[in-house]
Amino acid sequence: MSKRALITGVTGQDGSYLAEHLLAQGYEVWGLIRGQANPRKSRVSRLVSELSFVDGDLMDQASLVSALDRIQPDEVYNLGAISFVPMSWQQAELVSEVNGVGVLRMLEAIRMVSGLNASSSARSDRIRLYQASSSEMFGKVTETPQRETTRFHPRSPYGVAKAYGHFITRNYRESFGMYGVSGILFNHESPRRGAEFVTRKISLAVAQIKLGLQDKLALGNLDATRDWGFAGDYVKAMHLMLQQDEPGDYVIGTGVMHSVRDAVQIAFDTVGLNWQDYVVIDPELVRPAEVETLCADSSMARSALDWSPTVKFEELMQMMVESDLQQASREREYGDLLLAGRW
């Protein structure tokens, strides 16, 4: 019998890649969808047509219990979150509810549906949980590169909420014998990345500038450095984590750091333009408390999971720029045809 997986956050970047990966492994895949008419549902069903959907929201405990009851999944991937860090200073309470307490709601739903209680001595594998933890938990770093044992010092309400989700997952593992793991994933990108994140903001702008549809790109801190990888590689690590005999938490990243300035340079180089002619600094885009630098030590995942990244940063930025250029060219062609009355 094929395994069954439930993904929260299925309409997001990682959700769509993970759904594709699990379907390719022979899984039956369900996505939790929130909202009455979620506009991203049709986008993800176009990308991943064999996907099934169930209604639910991490803000609504009963909806999680009823989704688990109905689907009886073997594996739950909790990717749902408000994932844009600056939003967490604007709506700190909501972000804490979804990204922090939302994890507790999912753990409680699994506990109820699996019949686990505090006297459960043996570990329960009935429903395995993957929790999407983040390198933002490291924040103001105390050692470089960061590994599983590096101390957390989150710098945003987002990072604080993710740290809660991380520890409560570990606590349910220790308290109830639940099979729950957290992947501490560093930044990962793709042509499906949301337009608000810096790499996609850059690739979209470069495509528009190349086609003469935009003339400036406003950015914040160009000196911030990140360990950026390809989302398609990272969802494979999520799956591998849930296949281990013993549950554990793993750092996932490339171990290579680049600055936002490097990202800009590679993206503009891809289309033969000089970035200094187009990029302007907008102080409004600088964060109240910045995470200046992040770099992963994934040696544990590399040896225990046999996982390694396959896409280098330069290739990743080029892939994103080329995808956005193709898309923008198609849209411009369509616009020209409309204007010429030939559509």
Q: Which residues are catalytic?
A: 134, 136, 158
Residue 326's nearest CA partner among 196, 198, 206 is: 206
14 binds ligand NDP (CB under 6 A): yes
Residue 165's nearest CA partner among 176, 152, 177 is: 152
Q: Taking CB under 6 A as the criterion, which residues in 30-69 touch ligand NDP?
A: 34-35, 38, 40, 57-59
Q: Give the start-end residues of each E strand in 156-226.
A: 178-185, 188-189, 217-219, 225-226
166 binds ligand GDR (CB under 6 A): no
Among 29, 81, 113, 311, binds ligand NDP (CB under 6 A): 81
Q: Which does 132 bind (CB under 5 to 8 A by kind): ligand NDP, ligand GDR, none?
A: ligand NDP
CA dist list (Å): 10 to 46, 59, 126, 178, 310 = 13, 16, 22, 23, 23
287 binds ligand GDR (CB under 6 A): yes
Q: Within 10 Å of residue 289's Cβ, how many Cβ atoms?
A: 11
Q: Between 4 and 155, name the residue whose CB sits nearer to ligand GDR.
A: 155
Rounded to the nearest whole angstrom, what is the least distance from the CB of residue 178 to ligand NDP in the complex? 19
Q: Which stretch binds ligand GDR (CB under 6 A): 58-66, 191-199, 238-246, 266-274?
A: 191-199
Q: Could you tell me what percentage of the chain is helix, strand and coil, using 3-state DSSP and rounding each to the nearest 5?
A: 45, 15, 40
Q: Which does 260 bind (CB under 5 to 8 A by kind): ligand GDR, ligand NDP, none?
A: ligand GDR
Q: Between 71 and 106, name the residue whose CB sits nearer to ligand GDR.
A: 106
Question: Is-contact 30 53, C-beta < 8 A?
Answer: yes
Among 111, 188, 200, 239, binds ligand NDP (CB under 6 A): 188
134 binds ligand GDR (CB under 6 A): yes
Buried b (16+ CB within 10 A) or exposed e, 316-330: bbbbbbebbbeebee
The three-point CA angle 249-126-62 to 5° equals: 90
Among 83, 96, 169, 298, binds ligand NDP (CB under 6 A): 83
Q: Between 288 and 341, name the residue whose CB sits nearer to ligand GDR.
A: 288
Q: Give the start-end residues of each E strand in 147-256.
A: 178-185, 188-189, 217-219, 225-226, 229-230, 250-252
Q: Between 48 and 163, name the residue whose CB sits nearer to ligand GDR.
A: 163
The dihedral through the CA atoms of 30, 34, 37, 39 has a sign that is negative
Q: Which stretch binds ligand NDP (CB under 6 A): 115-123, 187-195, 199-207, 298-306?
A: 187-195
Residue 103's nearest CA partner among 127, 76, 126, 123 is: 76
220 binds ligand GDR (CB under 6 A): yes
List interacting residues with ligand NDP (CB under 6 A).
8-15, 34-35, 38, 40, 57-59, 79-83, 98, 132, 134, 185, 187-188, 194
List interacting residues with ligand GDR (CB under 6 A).
83, 85, 134-136, 186-187, 196-198, 201, 219-221, 224, 226, 260, 285, 287, 290-291
